[in-house]
Each structure stands twice: as structure tokens, then as C-alpha cells.
Amino acid sequence: MNIRNFAIIAHVDHGKSTLADRLLEITGTVSARQMRSQLLDSNPIERERGITIKLAPVRMSYTLNAERYTLNLIDTPGHVDFSYEVSRSLAACEGAILLVDATQGVQAQTLAHYHQAQKLGLTIIPVINKIDITTADIEGAKKQLKEILNLDSPLLVSAKTGAGVPELLTAIIHRIPSPRRSSSEGGPTRALVFNSNFDPHLTTGSTYWARMPKHLPLKLGFLPLNAPPLPHYLPEK
């Protein structure tokens, strides 16, 4: 199954949304004409303040060695106040890109998100960002990743210039496992609804994104206005 489900996790302002921009650009999901900074941050407050508040899922296609892959990315918030968004995102993935700012190193939410991903058994790809900045301390960031999180051989990227991002896409395909089918074949259909939004102009009412263990790993669907309430996901303490 050529599908990879992954999230980008990091401390606030370490470059998650900028990296998502480059992934969208390099995979050809968004044309150069349509591209704008922080494309997945659709909330006006997010764009005004330059921070991510709500998780943002997107599906990309990428060809590696003449084979086509579907890459399902979830961009997540970095601020501690929105950690529930991160927990929902990680529950829908098999892997996570742990992004570290080369000028800041490992910070509080880097550590918190790492432990959350580790607890869920996700494949974690350590990545050092902002290597193009003159004040970047790449060796210091590597040392912190090793000493604090026991993570070796981080990838080096510049989300701003795109340097190292093609290598990151290759690592995502090679390291993150494809989704496994549910072991409860024949049982009731189950799904994790991890994102939704309401549009008054749609006759269907709401758009939702769900993780379907028995069918498509990530599925886009619609709920009618009079739909019964869905059970919600509560992260484990």
C-alpha cells in the first residue's frame, strides 16, 4: 500500500507551516501561481499572528523511483494551548516529522510532542530546520537531539529555501510504514474523525476528515445538517 500518514510536530515558530508549504510546492500539489506563505493556515488569526491554531490535513501525491505514493500530511499547532489538536493528529498517523529550529534547539513543546508520538508508537523522523540562517547552531541542535531525546542522524533542511526537502520526502516514504488493516475484520465499521469544518454554502453542511482502519486510511466525507452527533476522541492522560 503506497500510502504514508504523517504529521509535522514542533515547538511554536520552528517552521512547521513553512515546511508544509515546501512539501506542497515540491510535490506539485499547489502550483507556484497559487502558492502563498502559510498556505494551510486558513484562519485569519493564524495568518495575522503567524501561528498555527488548528490542525490542517492535506493529501499529496509524489513519485519516487517511478512509483506513485499518496502522502497524507497533517500540519499541527506548536503552542501548548493547542496540544489537543496535536494529540488528535498523531492518533491518525503512523509517523511524525519532529522539527527543531537550528537557532533555538530542543524546547518545551519539542519534548512534549516527542513523548506523545513515542507513546503512540509512531516512527519519528528528526529534522533540523533553518540551516540557512547565519546564527544556526546545527551541531548544538544535533547534540541536544541525541542527549535529550536519544535521536541520531537528523535530516538537515531549510523550509524557506527548500534545501534538503526532497531528501525528507524520500525519508518519509522509506521510513514511515504504510497503514495496516484493522484486525477486527467482519466487525462494526469504526473511524476516528479528527477534523471537520462547517460551510453554510454547502447543502451537506459539514465536511469531515476521518481515519478509516478497514478502508481508506484517510477519508474525506460529508455530514448532513441533521446528522446525529458523532462520538468524540479523548486523548489518554
**Higher-confidence residue: 51 or 19?**
19
Edge-to-edge strand list for the sheet holding 3-10: 56-64, 67-75, 3-10, 95-101, 123-129, 155-156
The predicted structure's pLDDT at residue 186: 57
Please check whether residue 185 lies inside any domain of the structure: no
Please check whether residue 133 lies inside any domain of the structure: yes
Please check whether residue 214 lies inside any domain of the structure: no
The answer, as to whether pTM is greater than 0.95, is: no
**Residue showing cell 493529501:** 59
Please check whether residue 56 lies inside any domain of the structure: yes
How many structural domains does the chain have? Answer: 1
In this predicted model, what pLDDT tens digit does every residue of 182-196 receive, in sequence order? 555 555 555 566 565
Query: Which of 2-6, 41-45, 56-60, 104-108 has the lowest average pLDDT?
Result: 41-45
Which of 147-161, 201-215, 216-230 is most confident?
Answer: 147-161
Residues forming a β-bridge with 207: 197, 222
Give the domain CATH number at 100.
Answer: 3.40.50.300
pLDDT confidence tier of residue 20, bands split at 50, 70 and 90: confident
What grid cell was written down for 119?
A: 507513546
Percent of the chain with pLDDT over 90: 39
Q: CB within 8 A of 6, min separation 6: which ones? A: 71, 72, 73, 74, 93, 94, 95, 96, 97, 172, 176
Q: Which residue range(s) make up the domain with 87?
A: 3-175
Q: Which amino acid is at 116?
A: Q
pLDDT confidence tier of residue 92, bands split at 50, 70 and 90: confident
Please check whether residue 195 lies inside any domain of the structure: no
The predicted structure's pLDDT at residue 233: 41
The mean pLDDT of 20-46, rounded to a whole number, is 71
The predicted structure's pLDDT at residue 218: 45
The mean pLDDT of 84-113, rounded to a whole number, is 88
The mean pLDDT of 32-59, rounded to a whole number, is 61
237 has a pLDDT exceeding 50: no
Please check whether residue 69 lies inside any domain of the structure: yes
Task: Indicate the average pLDDT of the chain.
Answer: 77
In this predicted model, what pLDDT tens digit does every residue of 66-82 receive, in sequence order? 999 999 888 776 555 56
The mean pLDDT of 200-210, rounded to a whole number, is 53
Please check whether residue 127 lies inside any domain of the structure: yes
pLDDT confidence tier of residue 93, bands split at 50, 70 and 90: confident
pLDDT confidence tier of residue 43, bands split at 50, 70 and 90: low
The predicted structure's pLDDT at residue 236: 45
Percent of the chain with pLDDT over 70: 62
Q: Are strands 3-10 and 95-101 parallel, antiparallel or unpaired?
A: parallel
